[in-house]
Amino acid sequence: MSHPDAFTRLIQALCVLPNVGPKTAQRMAHALLQQNRQGAAELAHALQHALKQVNHCLDCNTFCEGERCNLCADPQRDPQRLMIVHMPADVAAMERAHCHDGHYFVLMGQINPIQNMDLNSIALEKLVQRLARSTISEIIIATAATAEGDATAYVLIELLKAQPYRISRLARGMPLGSEIEYVDAGTLAQAVYERKQLNHTP
Amino acid sequence: MSHPDAFTRLIQALCVLPNVGPKTAQRMAHALLQQNRQGAAELAHALQHALKQVNHCLDCNTFCEGERCNLCADPQRDPQRLMIVHMPADVAAMERAHCHDGHYFVLMGQINPIQNMDLNSIALEKLVQRLARSTISEIIIATAATAEGDATAYVLIELLKAQPYRISRLARGMPLGSEIEYVDAGTLAQAVYERKQLNHTP
């Protein structure tokens, strides 16, 4: 079965979506054109509108409309503490956890040599510029607890260690609510290795 | 439908199994008597044999046949470090993680006031006796990262804090391999709160 060119082109275009291969793309294309042409038109417009409107925040590098995002524009946030994360979704997760009242910097990526993502895939230069014009005293590296997160954290530490910032990284160990029996071996080993001393007996 | 007394008695007896209610117990009883009388006989014998043979290890309080378990009898283990856990399954999990080369003490329970499990539901007295005849210098409290685990840890700390042991607790934070975006809010907050400083800048 051969498709008209425009259909084939749409299928190929849909393959840019994460985790969408040719088969899924074909199903999507069929659904859009056969059952929901209005939805397809709206998707096209939304894409064009977003491409025109959505920029990177000048301060934290996250997606925003306008020059600065709401968080960076908020005078209530502590200007001394900066948390560095991979993605905008991580900012949202942190805000849901109500555990950081300072500012963020969004790298918009991570170091992942296997996927050819090197230093250029994270916004290091913009971070350096951000730090140069700030009053930040503490930097919290909140990269993922994965190999890619470790690699990214390592690059950040190398970049920042000569500067007069207090640098810390998220604690690793037992997730809240976990029973020993069901925690994976790597996490258990980490939790024992980084166990927290509770008294001052040497 | 009424059952003969012996059948009813078996159903009630099966209800002692965890997470087995009357309906499940009835299904189990039916399966055992109708389809697998040999299995039922073996289960009865295994129960009797276990009740006769399985004791608590005199040192670590885990289940074992004989006086001492294999781990306590092993001269290779570091006699200075004792890890306190809730259950035998926790010892198995730690051994799989290869992160502790000392000895264990198994409380065989946890503090859970809602389920009427108080100080008597953990082997505190036996722990005190164990410590009295040991050369232990460090105690690692490896209770669960749950409310019950916290309550149990609190009781242990109160019991031990006047003694000359170095007392520590498993680290809590991001589990290995986790992305910020998918970690629950409580764990994120804990990971930020207990973030690890990486340099010595004040």
Task: Tell me which amino acid residue A47 is.
Answer: L
User: Which chain B residues are closer than 8 Å to A90 by Cβ?
Assistant: 179-181
Q: Using a CB-CB distance cutoff of 8 angstroms, which residues of chain B are in contact with residue A83?
A: 192
pLDDT higher than threshold 70 for residue B7: yes
> Cα separation of A181 and B87, whole Å?
9
Q: Which residues contact B68 (CB under 8 A, 6 or more apart)?
A: B57, B58, B59
pLDDT of A56: 92
The per-residue pLDDT for A139 is: 95
| Contact at CB, B97 and A189, closer than 8 angstroms | yes
DSSP-assigned letters across all residues of chain A:
----HHHHHHHHHHTTSTT--HHHHHHHHHHHHHH-HHHHHHHHHHHHHHHHHEEE-TTT--EEESSS-HHHH-TTSEEEEEEEESSHHHHHHHHHHT---EEEEE-SS--BGGGTB-GGGS-HHHHHHHHHT----EEEE---SSHHHHHHHHHHHHHHTTSS-EEEE--BSBPTT--GGGS-HHHHHHHHHTPEE-S---
| CB-CB neighbors (< 8 A) of A62 in chain B | none
What is residue A2's predicted lDDT score, i.e. its pLDDT?
58
Cα B42 to chain centroid, rounded: 27
Among all residues of chain B, which has the CA nearest to that of A100?
Answer: B192
Q: Answer with the one of B16, B35, B55 that is the final residue of a domain.
A: B55
Does residue A34 sit in the same domain as residue A112?
no
Any domain includes B105: yes
Closest Cβ–Cβ partner in B176, B180, B185 for A186: B176
The reported pLDDT for the residue numbered B201 is 65
Same domain for A80 and A111: yes
Quote the percentage of chain B above a pLDDT of 90. 61
Token duo for residue A68: 């600065």
Tokens standing for B11?
A: 């159903």
- If asked whether residues B97 and B163 sit together in one domain, one would say yes
ipTM confidence score: 0.73
Q: What share of chain B is helix, strand, coil (3-state, %, to 5)?
A: 50, 15, 35
* Phi, psi for B182 (deg, rounded to 5): -105, 0
Q: In this structure, are B93 and B145 located in the same domain?
A: yes
**Residue A121 has what pLDDT?**
84
Q: Residue A168 contacts by C-beta under 8 Å, 6 or more apart in sequence?
A: A138, A139, A140, A141, B195, B196, B197, B198
| Residue B120 placed within a domain | yes
- Residues A163, A111 contacting (CB under 8 angstroms): no
Q: For position A147, which CATH number holds?
A: 3.40.1360.10
Own/partner long-range contacts of A30-39 (Cβ < 8 Å, ≥24 apart): A33/A7
Residue A31: inside a domain = yes
Which helix (H) or strand (E) segment holds residue B50: the answer is helix B37-53
Into how many domains does chain A fold?
Answer: 2
For the stretch B22-77, pLDDT in tens is 999 999 998 998 888 889 999 998 989 888 889 999 999 999 988 999 999 999 99
In A, minimum Cα distance to B87 occurs at: A181
Q: Is residue B126 part of a domain?
A: yes
| Whether A165 and A73 share a structural domain | yes
Domain identity same for A163 and A76: yes
Q: What chain A residue is nearest to B165 in terms of C-alpha separation? A: A201
Please report the number of interchain residue pairs, chain A to chain B, with beta-carbon separation below 8 angstroms: 227
Q: Which residues of B touch A85 (CB under 8 A)?
A: 180
Q: CA of B180 to nearest chain A CA: how many angstroms apart?
A: 6
Q: Cβ–Cβ of A188/B99 closer than 8 Å?
A: yes
pLDDT surpassing 70 at residue B3 = no
Residue of B nearest to A188 (CA): B97
Determine the residue of chain B that is closest to A96 in CA distance. Answer: B185
- Domain containing A19 equals 5-55
Shortest distance, CA A46 to any CA of chain B (angstroms): 25
* Strand B138-141 with B166-169, pairing: parallel
Predicted confidence at residue A198, as pLDDT, reads 84
Chosen for mutation from B146, B179, B200 (greatest number of chain A CBs closer than 10 Å) is B179
Residue B156, pLDDT above cutoff 90: yes
B48 in the same domain as B74: no
**Which residues of chain A are under the pLDDT cut of 70?**
1-4, 201-202
* Whether B20 and B72 share a structural domain: no
Q: Minimal CA–CA distance to A26: which of A37, A43, A14?
A: A14
Shortest alpha-carbon distance between residue B73 and chain A (Å): 23
Residues of B in contact with A99 (CB under 8 A): 185, 188-189, 192-193
Model confidence at B202, pLDDT cuts 50, 70, 90, reads low
Tokens of A181: 């029996």
More confident residue, B126 or B113: B126
Asked if the Cβ–Cβ distance from A164 to B201 is below 8 Å, we say yes
Local structure of residue B75 (DSSP, 8 states): T
Measured in angstroms, the CA of B5 and the nearest CA of chain A are apart by: 39
Sorting pLDDT into bands at 50, 70 and 90, what band is B87?
very high
